[in-house]
């Protein structure tokens, strides 16, 4: 009798889901527990889904959409509210000769998906089509997806997005552009193509991550800081939003402002290259909103945007997805892709190699423990190909590891270090100019609630619990890395080295 009574509380326990969290500093956020929206089952009464793939004029890559409510090449319709907003740029093709633009319109029926662009700001500003001197036009596609807007059970909203790809551009050149369609253009923005691959000219990038929740409006402030640094591109280590399937979260991401600054001021001008976090969860909202390189490899979802690489000037960037549905993909297909991708890198052209993903595998006593499985899956490849810096997030802190090369069991082996914990640079034979180890950076928290962190671990060089952003300036074989407090712009960490 009594043992049955004892069993009763357990029955209750088993009925409750486990993702609800009480302690702010101890959020449980395993990749598998967040809903990716796929659970909202479609029935016969719902409209059929469609997808689109095509090669944009002048480009040598294909663009493919997920399965959506509507996906067609840009048309001639100005719908009820055709004014473009949430404009943002990225790269799906070579950074020195292409760029792409995504934007939203409201209401129903807008199919415009055009861009007018050229190197003269006034010519683009004055044009309504491509008959104007020095102005070119390209047509993209329009898509509509269903989304949750109030809760995660109902697809109660529709979002209209437009996307266009421009190819065949001159390297190292500023282009002015506006998007939309006749009579309904966005304001004129400028975007710059990257230098020729292998260029030794100076350039810089920023790294941010975990903007979700936008606590104290840190996200737009961080983007204002990044804008004021004048970087050429921005990488993002995941968790842009709290719930990837909830459209209001994305609207906050794309429309946030800080005083007179709107994030569009930056995102419409400086390409943002995303990696998927457990909160973004490859939701259709995420996949449809960004256009990243789309080479589909084995076991890869999201039309090839799940993991990818690109080159900029003299650097090779690898963007990985560690928040996968099936963990075996990490050490399996994704590690194989990573190895093949790095094998193909010509280090004479791109001596710098950076990796970006979400969950850190070197992090010290913070909310999420280092992911040892991920370490075993990817570090041997990072080691073999001597990746310079790995950028991650997930723990909302700033951390930089000591240079690490090799594993003993599952523990990272400290490599020799130069001043201020930079990798020692080889000076003889085949080691000449080669850094002793990889630096693992956690640079997250431009809106997500901060976590505790420690610098007590032997692999940790510096750790601080602050909202932060990183800039990396590169000139030929010299690198200057600066981590700053995103709220105050105070320097948290700074180092330089040449190789």
Closer Cβ to another protein, 22 or 429, answer by number:
22
List the one residue from 95, 102, 110, 213 that touches another protein (CB under 8 A): 213
Burial class (CB in 10 A: 0-12, 13-18, 19+), 438: buried
What are the distances in angstroms from CA 401 to CA 320, 456, 460, 473? 19, 11, 4, 19
Q: Which stretch binds another protein (CB under 8 A): 2-10, 55-63, 77-85, 434-442?
A: 2-10
The distance of closest approach from Cβ of residue 247 to another protein in the complex, given in angstroms and rounded to an integer, is: 20
| Binding partner at 278 among another protein, Fe ion, none, C-beta below 5 to 8 Å by kind | Fe ion
Angle between helices 335-343 and 372-384 (to 10 degrees): 20
| Binding partner at 5 among another protein, Fe ion, none, C-beta below 5 to 8 Å by kind | another protein
List the one residue from 50, 119, 139, 297 that touches another protein (CB under 8 A): 119
Both tokens of residue 149? 């807007």
Closer Cβ to another protein, 413 or 491, answer by number:
491
Q: Tell me which residues in 22-61 interact with another protein (CB under 8 A).
A: 22-24, 26-28, 30, 32-33
Q: Cα–Cα distance between 40 and 137 in angstroms, integer?
A: 39
Both tokens of residue 460? 């940790």
Contact between 396 and Fe ion by CB under 5 A: the answer reads no
List the one residue from 47, 168, 230, 406 that touches another protein (CB under 8 A): 230
* Short-list 206, 204, 205, 210, CA closest to 360: 210
Distance from the Cα of residue 349 to its chain's centroid: 24
# of chain residues touching another protein (CB under 8 A)? 81
Tokens 């997805």, residue located: 321
Q: Which stretch binds another protein (CB under 8 A): 4-12, 59-67, 107-115, 134-142?
A: 4-12
The distance of closest approach from Cβ of residue 108 to another protein in the complex, given in angstroms and rounded to an integer, is: 34
List the one residue from 217, 336, 376, 416 that touches another protein (CB under 8 A): 217
DSSP calls for 149-212? SS-SS---EEEEEEEEEE-SPPTT-EEEEEEEETTEE---EEEEPPPPTT--S-EEEEEE---G
Q: Tell me which residues in 458-497 interact with another protein (CB under 8 A).
A: 462, 464-466, 473, 475-476, 478, 480, 484-485, 487-497
Strand partners, 89: 101
Q: Tell me which residues in 172-211 interact with another protein (CB under 8 A).
A: 172-174, 190, 192-195, 201-204
Tokens 């690490």, residue located: 404
Contact between 394 and Fe ion by CB under 5 A: the answer reads yes
Q: What x/- string results for residues 410 through 439 when contact with another protein is judged by CB under 8 A?
A: --------xxx-x-----------------
List the one residue from 136, 278, 392, 471 that touches Fe ion (CB under 5 A): 278
Dihedral, 441, 284, 302, 266 alpha carbons, nearest 10: -50
Q: Cα–Cα distance between 458 and 401 in angstroms, integer?
A: 9
Q: Tell me which residues in 121-140 interact with another protein (CB under 8 A).
A: 121
For residues 34 and 17, the answer to whether their CB atoms sit within 8 Å is no
Tokens 């055009």, residue located: 114
Residues at the interface with Fe ion (CB under 5 A): 239, 277-278, 394
């Amino acid at each position: 009798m009594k043992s049955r009574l004892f069993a009763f509380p357990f029955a209750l326990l088993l009925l409750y889901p486990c993702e609800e969290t009480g302690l702010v500093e101890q959020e449980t956020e395993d990749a598998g527990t967040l809903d990716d929206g796929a659970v909202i089952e479609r029935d016969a009464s719902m409209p059929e889904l469609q997808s689109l793939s095509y090669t944009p004029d002048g480009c040598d890559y294909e663009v493919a959409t997920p399965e959506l409510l509507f996906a067609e090449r840009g048309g001639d319709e100005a719908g009820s509210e055709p004014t473009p907003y949430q404009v943002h740029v990225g790269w799906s093709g070579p950074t020195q000769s292409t760029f792409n633009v995504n934007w939203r319109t409201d209401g129903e029926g807008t199919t415009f998906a055009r861009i007018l662009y050229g190197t003269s700001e006034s010519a683009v500003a004055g044009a309504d089509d491509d008959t104007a001197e020095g102005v070119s036009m390209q047509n993209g596609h329009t898509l509509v997806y269903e989304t949750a807007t109030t809760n995660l059970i109902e697809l109660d909203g529709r979002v209209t997005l437009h996307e266009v790809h421009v190819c065949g551009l001159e390297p190292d050149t500023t282009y002015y552009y506006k998007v939309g369609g006749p009579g309904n253009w966005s304001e004129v923005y400028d975007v710059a193509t990257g230098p020729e691959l292998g260029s030794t000219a100076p350039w810089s990038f920023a790294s941010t991550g975990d903007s979700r929740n936008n606590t104290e409006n840190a996200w737009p402030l961080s983007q204002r800081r990044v804008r004021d640094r004048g970087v050429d591109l921005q990488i993002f280590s995941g968790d842009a939003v709290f719930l990837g399937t909830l459209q209001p979260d994305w609207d906050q991401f794309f429309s946030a402002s800080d005083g007179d600054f709107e994030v569009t001021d930056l995102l419409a001008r400086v390409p943002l290259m995303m990696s998927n976090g457990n909160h973004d969860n490859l939701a259709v909202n995420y996949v449809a909103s960004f256009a990243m390189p789309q080479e589909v490899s084995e076991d890869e979802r999201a039309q090839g945007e799940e993991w990818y690489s690109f080159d900029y000037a003299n650097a090779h960037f690898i963007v990985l997805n560690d928040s996968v549905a099936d963990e075996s993909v990490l050490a399996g297909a994704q590690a194989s892709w990573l190895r093949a991708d790095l094998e193909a890198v010509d280090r004479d052209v791109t001596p710098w190699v950076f990796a970006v993903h979400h969950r850190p595998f070197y992090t010290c006593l913070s909310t999420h423990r280092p992911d040892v499985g991920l370490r075993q899956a990817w570090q041997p490849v990072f080691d073999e190909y001597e990746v310079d810096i790995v950028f991650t997030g997930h723990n909302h802190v700033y951390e930089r590891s000591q240079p690490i090369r090799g594993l003993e069991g599952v523990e990272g082996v400290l490599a020799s270090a130069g001043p201020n914990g930079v990798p020692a640079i080889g000076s003889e034979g085949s080691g000449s100019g080669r850094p002793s180890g990889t630096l693992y950076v956690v640079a997250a928290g431009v809106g997500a609630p901060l976590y505790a962190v420690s610098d007590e671990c032997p692999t940790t060089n510096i750790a601080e619990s602050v909202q932060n952003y990183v800039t990396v300036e590169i000139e030929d074989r010299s690198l200057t890395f600066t981590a700053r407090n995103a709220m105050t712009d105070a320097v948290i960490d700074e180092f330089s080295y040449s190789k």
